[in-house]
Chain A
């Protein structure tokens, strides 16, 4: 079992839909990152969370430390949101970043 599990692996939705991507982890962490990787390969950091909730534009990230779970939400999704979304946790023991397998999101016009 991987230390970081994301679901779903693939998600296709229509423009305008509300999107939720989930991340569960099994290790002690000091922080959790949500990142976005576009088809060209570049990686963009979206959020870093250690508790609660953060919002940036149409993106919302939440984390529940007790349940070891985080969600990334996209409101009013748009085709330009199509990308791979990656959850990565920063281990509190050695500061290693452990990555999830990513969720491939496709938003159709």
Chain B
């Protein structure tokens, strides 16, 4: 069983569209994260949710909105996609802040 699963794995879409990336973890963790991997392969944290509450919100555009229907899910919704949004997005979870994180396989988003 996959511990942290993201869907879709690949997403190609046109500029201006709205899209969502889903993330689910079956580890019973309380904390989930979204990261963006930039062209230099650095991972930058975007959001973190702990027990369904947003606790870290880095300075990402407000076109990006995390949605957590329950603590096992943290979906990433992106409005009005731009070319610069093209990247690989990783979801992760950990038991709590400061504990070991487990990562999904990543979603490669390409905006054309």
Chain A residues within 8 Å of B, Cβ to Cβ: 30-31, 33, 35, 40-45, 48, 84, 86, 88, 90, 94-97, 99, 101-102
Q: Assuming the A-B contacts A94-B56, A95-B97, are A41 and B102 also in contact, with contact meaning beta carbons closer than 8 angstroms in the complex?
A: no
Chain B residue contacts of A43, Cβ below 8 A: 90, 103, 105-106
Chain A residue contacts of B22, Cβ below 8 A: none
CA distance A30 to B45 in the complex (A): 17
* Residue tally, chain B, CB below 8 Å to A: 22
Q: Assuming the A-B contacts A41-B106, A42-B106, are A97 and B41 also in contact, with contact meaning beta carbons closer than 8 angstroms in the complex?
A: no
Chain A residue contacts of B97, Cβ below 8 A: 95
CB pair A101–B100 under 8 Å, yes or no, is no
B88 on the A face (CB < 8 A)? yes
CA distance A102 to B37 in the complex (A): 12
B74-94 interface mask toward A, CB cutoff 8 Å, 1 = contact, 0 = none? Answer: 000000000000001010000
Task: Identify which of residues 1-50 in chain B touch chain A, using a CB-to-CB cut-off of 8 Å.
Answer: 33, 35, 40-43, 45, 48
CB pair B98–A33 under 8 Å, yes or no, is no
Chain A residue contacts of B88, Cβ below 8 A: 41
A-B CB proximity, top 5 nearest: A48-B100, A43-B103, A42-B105, A95-B97, A41-B106
CA distance A94 to B108 in the complex (A): 28
Nearest neighbor of A92 in chain B, beta-carbon distance: B98
